[in-house]
Amino acid sequence: MAHFRNYIEINTDFPKGLNILHGSNGQGKTNLLESISMLTTGRSAKAANDRETVGWSAINEPIPYTRIQAKVVDDPSLTNIELILQINQLQNAQKDGLVSYENDLLKTGRLQKALKLNGVRQKKINGAAIIKVVSTGPEEVTLLSGAPSERRRFLDETSIQTNPQFLDINQKYQKVISQRNALLRRMREEQGSRTTEIDAWEEEIVNLGSHILSNRYQLLRSMKEQLNQSYKYLSAESGDFNLVYIDSTGSSENSSQQNIRENFKKSLENNWGKDLAISTTSVGPHRDDFRTFLDKNDIGIFGSRGQQRVVSIALFLAEAKYIKDQTNKNPILLFDDPLSELDNLHRERFLEFGISIGEQIFLTTAEPKLIPEKNRKESTHYIVDQGIISTSNKTP
């Protein structure tokens, strides 16, 4: 890895099993997990814009870049996966002298991304076919109580790793939603009447959106079973979970594919006046949500902070189990400081369950003593200090 956030350049091998990254806060532990995740999704889950991941050290290069590269061993195959982010100076900015300081280039230049598999550049920035990743951290408790967009992203990232067609369908859907919104805006400004062009966009929205909805319903049905299992193991308590999808088009988990299409089409028709007034498509999977209920109580609303924390971890473990079952591949688990808000029992059970699922586990902590002694002895330890990773021969 080179020029990624505070890392100038590192080259490290990580074995299977539990890899513990410890060090003071702000040294780069979370950055390492972020880089591994980006190999799968092609984008950062932490940054508002991927250019933020290009480290300041990159400015010393002729063309600033960051590179994340890994050799993925999946017996008997070996795949070299490489993600490159490059920032090019805009021609007009260079000509007009708008980039007066070198560091401004990282903020104003044009970002280009490329994914290579075994040296061959790919058409799509998606490494999910090679690396399956599940990541969670202290902030993930907001998955239950935060904005609906966080829960939609959770569903989409899981689907991308289990459904080879999902990324392409979702990207096309987002594009046609943008096209319809632009057309709505133009029609409102020009006070024009409905045209065949809007009909064409809506037909495509229904075709693509119904696939996304069907996929989400199937995903939540499966994950409900996994969540009950992971929560019971994690907390030593049984509970009756229900993952309820809130569909803005009026369908439900019992709706057939045909009914989903019909409901979607009717919903667009019913909201035509509203959408035209606000120049926005107000219904569809891009506006939906799901809620997590335990014993008929919405955990995101009525759960305590501690309960939300345990349930959110159980949900990510359920995601890992779902990915494993769907793809027959053990995912890499990225756990960013997951133990600080758990008691000893939950720490032990969390790691036991994670180790049973994950091919490789990366766990960060500023306090290694929080990790159960048995797991500390059976893991590989690394010290992260100011963007430098070194192996620790001593068990903390």
Q: What is the distance between the alpha carbons of residues 204 and 227, in angstroms, rounded to a whole number?
A: 34
How much is the pLDDT for 98? 45
C-alpha 254, offset from chain centre: 27
Residue 274: give the domain boundaries.
16-41+130-392
Q: What is the pLDDT of residues 295-336, one digit of tens each?
A: 999 999 999 988 898 999 999 999 999 999 999 999 999 999
Decide if 60 is inside a domain.
no
pLDDT at 179: 96
Task: Report yes or no on 285 lying in a domain.
Answer: yes
pLDDT attached to residue 96: 47
311 domain-assigned: yes
User: CB burial class (10 A; 0-12, 13-18, 19+) of residue 1?
Assistant: buried
Helix-strand-coil split of the chain, %, nearest 5: 50, 20, 30
CATH number, domain of 314, equals 1.20.1050.90
Contacts with 392 (C-beta within 8 Å, 6 or more apart), sequence order: 22, 381, 382, 383
Q: What is the pTM of this model?
A: 0.91
**Does residue 380 fall inside a structural domain?**
yes
CA distances from 201 to 10, 122, 194 (A): 47, 29, 12
Positions in the chain short of pLDDT 50: 91, 93-101
Assess if residue 353 is contained within a domain: yes
Structural domains counted in the chain: 1
pLDDT value at residue 46: 87
User: Phi and psi (nearest 5°) for 197?
Assistant: -65, -40
Give tens-digit pLDDT for 24-44.
999 999 999 999 999 998 889
Q: Is residue 184 part of a domain?
A: yes
Identify whether 246 is part of a domain: yes
Q: How far apart are CA 1 and CA 20, in angstroms?
A: 19
Whether residue 208 is contained in a domain is answered as: yes
pLDDT for the residue numbered 311:
93
Distance, CA of 245 to CA of 252 (rounded, Å): 7
Predicted local distance difference test score (pLDDT) of residue 101: 46
